[in-house]
Amino acid sequence: MNGILHKFHPITQLSFIICIVSVVLIVNDPVILSISLICSLLYIFAYGGAKTLKNYLIMSSCVTLSVIMINPLISHRGMTVLFYLPDGNPYTAEALIYGFFASILISSTIDWFFIVNRTLNSEKIIYLFGKMLPKLALLISMTLGFFSKMKLQFQSMRSARKAVGCDISDGGLSDRFRNGAALISALIGWSLENSIDTADSMNSRGYGTHKRSSYSPYHFRPDDALLLSLVFMFFSFVMIMNYSGSLDHSYYPYFEMTRIGFLSVSTYSVYFTMCVVPYIIDLLEARKWKYIRSKI
């Protein structure tokens, strides 16, 4: 499934995701973090369906529990002491709360990078950065493509070894370790050989000897202009509200947030709208198309 963003121009897609993630990293407000996580999971559902969403919910839960458990053990800041650890350091509620929202930040960022990976394929990366940074664009494009090839090759090698009883799930612990090492060694050998073949192929085709020409199948449409305008406008509004103090919060020494008021609620609403505006545009297009078909 292509997802909601597939119909937009690559520049629009990249700008949208950069603005969304930038707000999360700069503002770091608890409500903003929660909105970002919910919307990122919404996009993951649109891209991969219920199965992919379930996997990411499990991953997010594991990240959340891990950070919540680890942060109070290494950070002892905060004034609300819940109990004392065996080494005498306090276990504080503020460190626990900070770990919870830090885990949300990590999970939502990972989710948005998944969306980047599903939205911006190697062809779009070449289009975006091919003229400014051709070598970097080619390197990123080949790297993204190589991961999928390596995954397929790993599955093929494992199936072959499983057929002869040499899989990483066969035998005792030492046998599994030995089979896993052999599988990794074969996979590394294949990847090196594949890299050499790719380099020889590019050299024989004359890569880098002449100025490259390119064909672009992407066209900047009115929907792209509308989305970019709305996203930049919403992003500017959230940043202004953040620097004006409407989203002030602190985790240490006490967990405090600015009193919920008109400005803060407006900022949260604007950021949520900013996250889902591609859905809104897609919904309007679907209704328009349905209306046109009804008139035929």
Q: Is the pTM of this model over 0.75?
A: no
Residue where a domain terminates, one of 205, 232, 253: 205
The domain containing residue 182 runs over which residues?
Answer: 146-205
Do 167 and 179 meet the contact criterion of CB atoms below 8 Å apart? yes
Please give the pLDDT value at position 1: 41
For residue 140, being part of any structural domain is answered with: no
Do 122 and 133 meet the contact criterion of CB atoms below 8 Å apart? no
- Give the type of residue at 267: T
Residue 258 has pLDDT above 80, yes or no: no
More confident residue, 133 or 251: 251
183 lies in the same domain as 267: no
User: For 240-251, what is each residue's pLDDT tens digit?
Assistant: 988 887 777 777
Which residues lie below 8 Å from residue 147, measured CB to CB, with a gap of 6+? none
> Which DSSP string do the residues of 166-229 spell out, in sequence order?
-STTSSSHHHHHHHHHHHHHHHHHHHHHHHHHHHHHHHHTTTTTSPPP--------HHHHHHHH
User: For 137-164, what is each residue's pLDDT tens digit?
Assistant: 666 667 766 767 777 888 888 888 888 8
Average pLDDT score over residue span 196-222: 71
178 lies in the same domain as 34: no
Alpha-carbon span 141 to 143, nearest angstrom: 5
